[in-house]
A and B are shown apart, each in its own frame.
Chain A
Amino acid sequence: MANLLPAEFSDLEPFVADWCLDSEPERYAKRLSSTMGEIQAFYDAIMPRAEDAMVYLDRFPLDALPEDAVRLLKLLYSLILMSFAVEVWKQPYIPDTGTAQFELKIEPFP
């Protein structure tokens, strides 16, 4: 079976099942349904590798990313959304937002 992630990032493969998500609403739902412990563990694993991952991914044309590279990119999309919970709010929810919802309905791929 092919590797889930490029070889240099194989140590991040345990995160693929939960954190490779296809859309912003799925990523935001994942943030709200995760504990800060889970989000922090994901952030702590991916954030120090983000620069290396971008260097790796920039070897490919954006419209011709291999499947394992697309998974790595999706981890970075999740990192972006989880970073606010870690760096800004110290909790998954944005404070004082109640039941308000605001979802990304059109998101280019990749």
Chain B
Amino acid sequence: MTENLKIPKQAARQYPKPPEGSWTEHYPELDTEPVSYENSISPEFFELEREAVFKRAWLNVGRVEQLKRKGSYFTKDIPGLKTSLIVVRGKDDKVRAFHNVCRHRGNKLVWTDYPAEEVSGTCRQFACKYHGWTYDLEGTLTFILQEGEFFGIDKSKYGLVQVHCDVWKGFIFVNFAAEPEQSLHDFLGPMITAIDYPFEKLTQRYYYRGDINSNWKIFHDAFQEFYHPPILHGHQNPVMRQTDYQDLGFYTSYFQAEGPHRVGSTSGGAGGKLVPEFYNPIEQVMRSGLFGPWDPSEIVTDQLPPGLNPGNKKNWGLDSFQIFPNFAIVFWETGWYLTYHYWPVTHNRLLFEANAYFTPPRNVRERLAQQLGIATIKEYALEDCGTLEATQMGLESRVVTQFPLGDQEFMCRHANKVINTWVADYQQKQAKG
């Protein structure tokens, strides 16, 4: 490596801020005071959060491409709610979600070999492994073994327990409320529903998951600020390895919050446009890396899809949309996208899922560029995983209780505020009865 390389100037570039002087102060509902993370270390808060957030918000559980034809289904475990769902495409092509529980004696209805593992497939009906009670694709109970032995049983009253389910742009959402307070469309709001991306063309899917000893919000926070990467991930890159800390600051070009959701946009780094020393040898051979394949996919045109780059910034590289509460979509300039899901398990454990979606590769070279991109995700994500377990430990000591957040951590502050607001709102409604 060349000695004394400097980080390219555009990476450390500052961007104009709103007239109030900061992204944080642009939003009157936010203050600039240090924040508390008691909401991430308290088992009692987690109990409230399950009710106030995870049983009231719309939650993404997958995409319609996972349900290719009538009778296609997958199960989706929601560990924080101690429940499992069956998500299925019915004979009428409608996507429905049911609790994965037999109405007879409570057995988990759909699973194979390991009761705690998710499964998928295609079928005509769901039959319980225990006593053979059978349900059709619309959740209706159709068969009871030795029905005459039961006492005046009415099959129409023993269908699978349905969960509200709706689809936006191929993303399947569920809502555990008896009656959702908002439709999915209203919940997502104008900033999210403005996105008109050709998701259906990006069918090449890579799926990661990890079980991590940290609160889901503490973990999520590392994926909604770009303040940490030059430090925590600074060794991944030949230039960064040689640069002094004071040269490293990275600035997000645009932030926006709307309702409970938010987005951050940054400049790009894909395409091998930086000096060659910025890339590891494998990246130069396979033309890919952290920002994904360098060569644009077939969906990339002169015109960005509607809803992307909402700040209309030059040098746009990516948008990281945070969809409340635990779902994120990251759009990259070379025409692929990532989703993240942060599923709480307990107050200090989460299930972390990352899905990368590309257009189907047309040749081996494109396939390898995808493989290097997704391999790089793991190298970075594992650094986050290790560190955020350490953060959880530090917080749980309760030695420090107030934490200053900078303007680059705008999205973390907004997320923390929204969670507390949803829980307070729930408590108020409970108090009123």
Residues of chain A at the chain B interface (Cβ within 8 Å): 24, 28, 47, 50-51, 54, 57-58, 60, 62, 65, 73, 76-77, 79-81, 83-84, 87-89, 94-98, 100-108, 110
Contact = CB atoms under 8 A, between A and B. Distances in A.
Nearest to B379: A84
B84 to A, nearest CB: 17
A98 B386 contact: yes
Given A57-B363, A102-B209, A106-B206, 13 more contacts: A47-B281, A47-B282, A54-B364, A65-B364, A73-B367, A77-B368, A84-B379, A87-B280, A94-B383, A97-B382, A98-B386, A100-B212, A102-B210
B374 interface: yes
A104 B285 contact: no
Contacts of A73: 364, 367-368
Interface string B283-298: 0011000000000000
B381 A62 contact: no
A108 B375 contact: no
A24 B375 CA distance: 9
Interface in B375-428: 375, 378-379, 381-383, 385-387, 389
Contact of A100 (B365, B372, B389): B389
Contact of B286 (A57, A80, A110): A80
B364 A87 contact: no
B378 to A, nearest CB: 6
Interface of B: 204-212, 235-236, 280-282, 285-286, 352, 354, 361-365, 367-368, 371-372, 374-375, 378-379, 381-383, 385-387, 389
Given A100-B382, A102-B381, A76 B375 contact: no
Contact of B211 (A47, A96, A101): A101
Nearest to A107: B206
Nearest to A106: B207
A83 B204 CA distance: 24
Contacts, number: 108
A77 B204 CA distance: 17
B88 to A, nearest CB: 19
A83 B208 contact: no
Contacts of A58: 363-365
6 contacts: A50-B285, A80-B371, A87-B281, A87-B282, A100-B382, A100-B385
Given A57-B364, A102-B352, A105-B208, A83 B281 contact: yes
A105 B353 CA distance: 10
Nearest to A51: B285
Contact of B375 (A57, A60, A81, A95): A81
B205 A102 contact: no
Nearest to A69: B364
A54 B140 CA distance: 53
Contacts of B362: 62
A57 B368 CA distance: 11
Nearest to A96: B386
Contacts of B371: 77, 80
A82 to B, nearest CB: 9
Contact of A97 (B206, B209, B361, B383): B383
B74 to A, nearest CB: 11
Contact of B385 (A79, A97, A105): A97
Contacts of A28: 378
Given A58-B365, A88-B379, A100 B207 contact: no
B368 A102 contact: no
A100 B383 CA distance: 9
Contact of A105 (B207, B282, B375): B207
B222 to A, nearest CB: 13
A79 B371 CA distance: 11
Nearest to B352: A102
Contacts of A57: 363-365
Nearest to B376: A84
